[in-house]
Structures are given as C-alpha cells and as structure tokens.
Amino acid sequence: MSDSQTHTWVRWDTKFPWLGTAPVSIEPYVSPEYYAKERRAVFGRMWLQVCRVDDVPKPGEYFVRDLAVLDTSVLIVRGTDGVVRGFHNVCQHKANRVALSERGSCRALNCRFHGWTYGLDGRLVGVPDEQGFSEPVKKGARGLRAVATDTWEGFVFVNLDPNPRETLKEFLGEFAQCLEGYPFSKLSMHFKHQAEVHCNWKILVDAFQDGYHLRSQHRYSLAEMFMGDPSKSFAEIKFFKRHRFLSSNGNPKFTPFPTMMLAFMHGGYFSPEIFPPDWMPPGVNPTRSPEWATDINVFFPNMFIQLIAPGWYFVYTIWPLAVDRCLWEARIYSAPPANAAQRFAREYIMITVRDSILEDLSTCENVQANLKSGAIDSFPLHEGELFARHLLKVVDECIQEEERR
C-alpha cells in the first residue's frame, strides 16, 4: 500500500493558503534582469550575517567578508573600546583594499599602496608626506566608510544600505526572540567548508529547506534517520514576515549502523553545564516532541541555523556571485571533545554531514544547467517545498517595495 493509504496526512500547504498552490515560474532562477533587481532590493537593503564575534575576539583583530553580490568587501574589526564595527574595505585615497587577508590582528589599519593609516574606529590618522597634496587632506572626512553593524547572540550582521530602514532587532523580530538563550557562544567551530556552486542562489537555498527530497536524494545518508511516519515528519512549520522555521522529528524505529552506534554510544558528550535538562529556549523544539531531531531556522535572505538535538548547530550561508553561480559556506559547532571517543563522534558527524551536502550540491548544478534547455518553464511544488514558495514571495515583495521608492 502507498504512504497516502496507510497514513493520515497533515497537509501543511492547506495551513498556509496565502502562499498559493500554482506552479512557480523559473524566471527568478534564470533571469539576469531579475537577479539585478535582487542585488539591490534584497542584498543591498537587508541585514546580512557575515561572521561571529568569535572571529574578532580581541581589540585589533579583524575579519574580511567579500560580498561579490554588492561589488564590495566588508572589514569587521574590534576596536580598543571593545566595540565591533564594520567598514567598506576600501582606502579613501585610491580605493585599494585596506586589509588583504581574510583575518588578522593589528594596532592600526594600514593601506599598503600609499601607507594611509586608519584607527580601529575607522578614523584617518596618518597620511605620509601630507604636505605634498595640493590641498590639505581633510582627515575628518576621509575615514573608512562605515557600514551599519550590529550583533545578535554573537552573530555579526551588516546592512549595506546607507540608511537602513530598520534596526537588526526589528529585522529579526519575533523569529530571533524564540532562539535567544541557546548556548551559541559555548560551542566552538570544529568544521568549515565552502564551495562555488554553479546554480542560482535560490536553487541552493531551496535544497537546504526542502523536505520533499529527503527520502530520495539522501536515501543512502540521512533518509532512514529522519523518515519515519511521513504524517509526523514535520512537528512544526512557521512563517514570519521574512524568515522561516521548521521543526522535524526523527525516525524512532531507525536502527543505527554499527559505526554510527559506536560513535554515539561511546562518544556522546553533551555537557550538563551547557545543556541542562531545561536547556531548550521556547523556540527550540517548540512542540516539545519526544521524537525531535532537528530545527531549521532560515534567516532571510541567505543564512540557516540548524540545531541538532542536543549539542550541535550548523550554520549555512549562500552568497550570490552571478545569476547562475553562488558561494556556499558551512560551519559546524559543538562542545570541545574531552577524549578520543568524543573526537571520533565529532568526526563521524562531520563526515555524515559532508556526504549529505555533496548529494545536494551536485543536484543543484544539474538543475541550473537543465533550466537553460527550455524543457521546463515552471515548477509544481510539493507541500514539503513550502519554504521555496515563501522565499520567492518575500523576494518579490522586496523588489516591489524597492520599485515603489
């Protein structure tokens, strides 16, 4: 018998009729004109997560985030006063990059082209052979160009709009409040990977927020762990003004593979100091499902925080490079291992995640290539692909708002 005959289905698409039911056009995924609108209306106006405060832990330490989608490079630096600030990584003399490496530490920011020097607060403090300029250099007006910068739970966000329409707190709203209290700062990054993927950025975002492909695409990696009773796979789905949330159950009948069993029997190390019995903030596993496996928090436009029960979280970011190319980054955070068994468990999870991600990335490139064939002009979307509908809706709203300005 088919799944539809043996299970009572919770039709999530009927809970959100405002998202629509019709097939969606492929234009937003292939049109250079649409992509040009996204660059300005979405990435040029929204708050973007660029690093964590852990990347600039001490005064003088800096981190550089290249934003090809906006043709700029952003320099995040912690000042002597402890404040984390953001600037365009552009010398105000001849537009050379001030910081050339991804990260570093310094007492002052020095451009190697002509030696102009900036304080950690962005002020221009040194101009070699200043008397050689025909007109005096107005240092007060030639400091590094500031970028709106703020933090939430240790995540650093920037907004490239010279006059942001809303604060970071307003942008995140209730969505972020639900996660506040999760011990992000107590878990350290132990795995980082990135890849340039030849597909539109929304194709890749959809791959990580799509519940429909799990059984088929990940049949050799994740499917058995998560695919139990299909009617209970999703414990909760929520849509916010721009952001999205999914809470998913695991498969209680799943029998771990021998290596997996070894990893979790002898490598479990979820510290009670970090994760006491009542550790869950209200937004984590909000239904308090005993079969809870993971929460996926999608921060518009391009960031995911995936929480794994308990003790792990992943961060994915997808950065557009062109209409058909994007940069994908993944970071995995967990408690530091205390022994060899715990290290083994951590490495096992790293490999499992890597394999499942490779399955997604290869498919996304195939999709983008085939969109050029003319063989398809729209996508019919399953209820497990509701997040794709929401993403397109929010992007369209941003473009419409930009056009009304």
Q: Compute the distance between CA of residue 196 and CA of residue 327 in angstroms, rounded to an integer.
A: 5
Full pLDDT tens readout for the chain, 405 residues: 334 344 444 577 788 889 999 999 999 999 999 999 999 999 999 999 999 999 999 999 999 999 999 999 999 999 999 999 999 999 999 999 999 999 999 999 999 999 999 999 999 999 999 999 999 899 999 999 999 999 999 999 999 999 999 999 999 999 998 888 888 988 888 788 889 999 999 999 999 887 666 666 655 555 555 555 555 667 889 999 999 999 887 766 666 666 766 666 655 555 666 777 778 888 888 888 888 888 999 999 999 998 876 678 889 999 999 999 999 999 988 887 778 877 877 787 777 777 777 777 778 899 999 998 989 999 998 888 899 999 999 999 999 999 988
Classify residue 12 by its DSSP letter: G
Q: What is the pTM of this model?
A: 0.90
Backbone dihedral angles phi then psi of residue 91, each to the nearest 5 degrees: -65, 140
Strand arrangement of the beta sheet that strand 72-78 belongs to = 47-52, 155-159, 146-152, 84-88, 72-78, 61-67, 103-105
Structure tokens at 37: 């609108």
Structure tokens at 317: 């970011």
Q: Compute the distance between CA of residue 156 and CA of residue 303 in angstroms, rounded to an integer.
A: 12
Q: Which residues contact 368 (CB under 8 A, 6 or more apart)?
A: 29, 198, 199, 200, 203, 324
Angle between helices 258-267 and 340-371 (to 10 degrees): 130
β-strands 234-239, 378-379: how paired?
A: unpaired
Class of domain 10-26+178-404: alpha beta
* b/e burial code for range 112-132 (CB count within 10 A of at least 16 → b): eeeebbbbbbbebeebeeeee
Per-domain residue ranges for the chain?
10-26+178-404, 48-173
Nearest CA among 330, 314, 168 for reference residue 243: 168
Class of domain 48-173: mainly beta
Q: Are 41 and 35 in contact (CB under 8 A)?
A: no
Angle between helices 340-371 and 201-208 (to 10 degrees): 130
Tally the residues of the chain: 405
